[in-house]
Amino acid sequence: MTCPICKQRKAKRFCPAKAETICSVCCGTEREVTVDCPSECPHLITSRQYDQERREIDWSKIPFADTKIPSSFVAAHQQLVAALSFVVCTYAHANRPLVDSDGRAALEALAESYRTLASGIYYERPPASLLQKGLFATLKTGIEDYKKAEGQRVGMTTVRDSDIRDTLILLAQLGATHANGRPNGRAFLDFLRSQFPPERFAKPASNLIVMP
C-alpha cells in the first residue's frame, strides 16, 4: 500500500487523524503541520517526549525574558495557577482549532495588560485573531470569577494584581518552553490538560474555577 500523502513511499504507520496508514516520513514531516493530530496519537506523544528531552531553551527568546517566576511563587499560588490553567484548557477543549500559538498570544497580551498596572494605568490590547481574542476575554472572566469565589470562601479577596500578572507570565513562558513550533502544535495545551484528571473535560464546564 502506498502512502496517501506522498503517494511514493510504502505506508507502514497507522495515522489516527486520517484513519489510514501512512509512511513514517510523512508522519514525521506533516505531523501538526498539515495533519491535525489527535493528542492521544502514540507517535505524537513519543515525538514530543523526544523533542522536550533534547530541547535547549534560549531564555532571551522567551516572552518576558526579564522576569523569572520562582518555584516558590507557584507553591504559594497553586490555586490561582491551576484556575487560570483550567480556563485555558476548557476554552481549548471547546474550541478545537485553538493551537499553542493562539494560547500564547492571548496569555502574553493579557500579561502585558497587567504589567501596565505597575505604572498605575491599565492598557489593554487584545489579540486580533477571533480565537485568541475569545481566550483573552475568557481569561479575564476567569480572573474575576476566581476573585469572587475566593471572596465567598474566605470572606475577602487576597489575590493581588501582581499575582495575576506573574501567573499569566508563568503560563506564557510555559507556552514558549513546551510548544514545538509546529503550525498546528498543541504540545503546550496538552501539557496543561495533563495536570488535571481527564474526567474534568468529559463534559462542558459550568464553573471554570479550581478551588479545594
pLDDT tens digit string along 125-143? 999 999 999 999 999 999 9
Residue 204 has pLDDT above 50, yes or no: yes
Residue 210 has pLDDT above 50, yes or no: no
Burial 32-51 (b: 16+ CB within 10 A, else e): beebebeeebebbeebbeee
Residue 180 has pLDDT above 80, yes or no: yes
CA dist 6 and 68 (Å) reads: 44
Domains of the chain, first to last? 1-54 (3.30.40), 60-201 (no CATH)
Taking each helix axis from N to C terminus, what angle separates 100-115 and 161-178, rounded to the nearest 10 degrees?
Answer: 150
Burial of 26: CB neighbours in 10 Å, binned 0-12, 13-18, 19+: buried
Residue 174 has pLDDT above 90, yes or no: yes
pLDDT tens-digit series, residues 141-153: 999 999 998 888 7
CA dist 169 and 178 (Å) reads: 14
Q: Which of 117, 100, 32 is nearest to 63 (CA)?
A: 100
pTM above the 0.85 mark? yes
